[in-house]
Structure 1
Amino acid sequence: MSLVLNSVTRNEEGKGASRRLRKQGLVPAVVYGGSANPVSVTFKNNEVAKAVENAAFLTGVVTISIDGTEESVIVKSLQRHPASGEVMHIDLQRVEADKKIVTRVPLEFINAAKSEGVKSQGGRLQVEAKLAEVRCLPKDLPASLIVDTINGQLGEIFHLSDAQLPEGVELVALLKGEDHNQPIARIGKAKR
C-alpha cells in the first residue's frame, strides 16, 4: 500500500484521554512488536477513515510515520463504534523484512457461477470462512487467497488446502497437521 499514515506520539492514556482525543478528531492507537518498545500514538480521524476504505490497509503491510520516522506495520486489531462505524482505536504490530509474520487474509472464491454444481445442478456456494491465517515474510503477504470453485459439484466441500498459496506463504492451520484442514465453503442446495 503506497499510502503513508502520519501519527504523533501521545503521553496520555486511559479511557478519559482516549475519549478526549476522539472529540478532537483523533484516533488513538498503539504500535508494538519488533525490537522497540510499544508506542502510543494518534492519527487524524479523516486519514484513518480514508485508509480503512482500502481493504489492503486491513490485510497488508502499511507504512506509518511516527513523528517523522517511518515504520512498516500490520493492523492487528481495529475497534469501531457500534452505531456509527467510526474507528475508535487501532492496534498495530511492527514488521521486520526478514522475520515471518502471522496474520489473517481474506479468502476469495471465484468461478462459483460457472461450476457444474451451481450452473446445472441447482446448487449455490455457501461460504463458511472468510479469512485464513497465514505465515510468511512481509514481502510475500498476499492481498487474498484464491479458491477456484470451477470444478465444484453439488454437495462438494472446499477445504483450506484448496486455497492457492503464493510462494513463501503457509497456512497456519495446515502446519498443525492434516486434521486441521477445516472446511471453508460448500456447494449446497439452493433454498427455494
Structure 2
Amino acid sequence: MAGEIPDLIATARAGTGKGAAREARRNGDVPGIVYGGGADPLPINVNFNYLLKKLHEGRFLSTLFNLKVEGQEDVRVICRAVERDVVKDLPRHVDFMRLRRTSRVNLFIPVEFVNHKDAPGIKKGGVLTVVRAEVELNVVAGEIPDHITVDLTGKEVGDVIHIHDIELPGGAKPTIERNFVIANISAPSGLRAAGGADADEAEAEDEAEAAEE
C-alpha cells in the first residue's frame, strides 16, 4: 500500500548566484536548488518559517516530498543537503534531488502491530515492548508503503520479533543487513524479577543499537 507523500511548497527563483540568494534571505526565504531526474536545475525559494517547521518535524533528509512550484509540474524530490549558518544553526540553502518513480531511496517506514487479542502472551499479561517503531527501508519511489505490519497472532511471552520475521512489501529491503529486533513480548513486571534480568539486558542492548542507527 503506497503511503501519502507530503507536499513541499516552494516558489521559482528568477536569479541565481549570491545576489539572488541574499535577496531571498532578506525576503524571509531560504534559497535552494532542484537537480537531477534528467531535467535542468531549478532555482527555488522556500519560506524560512515553513522550512524550519518541516525541519523540526524530523527525518527531513529521509522523507520523500511532492514538490509544488507554481508554473511547474509537481515532482517527487528528496533533500540531499541543508546548509546551515555556522553561528545560528539556521538553514541558509537547501538542495533537492528529483526522483523518478523507479528510483530507489532509503526512507523510515512506521511499524504497525496487529492482532494483539490473538497473542496468548499478551492475554497472559505479557507486555509488547517495541524496540523499533519505524524501520529504515530501501524502497522504490513509486511504491512507498505507508507502514509494515507485524502480526502478533500466536506470540507468547518471551517471543522476539526480528526484521526477517516480517513480510516486507514488494521491492522493499532493510538498509541494515543484520537481523535486528523489532519488538518482543516480555513477562509481566511481577515475573521479571524471577529470571528476566538477561532478557531485560538484551532488550536494553537492542534499544541502544536502534538509537545509534
TM-score (norm 1): 0.64
The answer for unaligned runs of 5 or more in structure 1 is 79-86
Q: Within the alignment, does 1:147 sit opposite 2:142 as a pair?
A: no
Percent identity of equivalent pairs: 25
Counterpart of 2:126?
A: 123
Q: 1:97 to 1:154 in 2, by over 3 A?
A: same
CA distance in 2, matches of 1:106, 1:77: 24
Q: 2:187 aligns with which of 186, 189, 192?
A: 189
Q: How many Å apart are 1:108 and its aligned residue?
A: 1.8
Over the residues paired in the alignment, what is the CA RMSD in angstroms? 4.1
CA distance in 1, matches of 2:133, 2:80: 17
The answer for unaligned runs of 5 or more in structure 2 is 83-89, 191-213
Counterpart of 1:160?
A: 163
**2:99 partner amino acid:** V
Contact 1:105 1:145 in 2 (8 A): yes
Q: 1:128 to 1:37 in 2, by over 3 A?
A: farther
Q: Within the alignment, does 1:96 sit opposite 2:103 as a pair?
A: no
| Structure having the higher Rg | 2
Counterpart of 1:84?
A: none
Q: 1:26 to 1:163 in 2, by over 3 A?
A: farther
The structure with the greater share of residues assigned to strand is 1
Q: Within the alignment, does 1:110 sit opposite 2:114 as a pair?
A: yes
TM-score (norm 2): 0.59
Partner deviation per Cα, 1:44-85 (whole Å, 9 max, x = no partner):
367668979x99x9976432134632321135688xxxxxxx
Q: How many Å apart are 1:96 and its aligned residue?
A: 1.2
Counterpart of 1:62?
A: 65
